[in-house]
Amino acid sequence: MSIGLIITLIVWLISGIGLVVMIMLHSGKGTGISDILAASFSNSMTGTGIIEKNLDRITVILAIIFFASIFVMMVIYPH
């Protein structure tokens, strides 16, 4: 195994685990972690919106890294 493949596998694994964690943090019908954190900061809906927006951004970035690492692995190790 080449060093490039090992690094790509590590990035793929970390981004995959991070992606699962970020998806689990999203709220579903007002019971997510983001709603709990927003309630502790403020009782207004602005806190929830900001936290959800940041969770969405992080989730999208991790998804892009995850799929990019898959494509890199396809190029490095094409079997």
- Interval 2-28: pLDDT, tens: 888 889 999 999 999 999 999 888 766
Tokens 């981004």 identify what position?
15
For residue 25, the tally of other CB atoms under 10 A from its CB is: 16
Gap between the Cα atoms of 62 and 56, Å rounded = 10
Evaluate if residue 60 carries a pLDDT over 90: yes
The model carries a pTM of 0.70
**Mean residue pLDDT across the chain:** 80
Q: In angstroms, how far is the first alpha carbon of the chain from the final one? A: 13
What tokens were used for 54? Answer: 């940041």
Closest by CA to 65, choosing from 2, 21, 19, is 19
Residue 39 has pLDDT above 80, yes or no: no
What is the rounded CA–CA span in Å between residue 51 and residue 46? 9
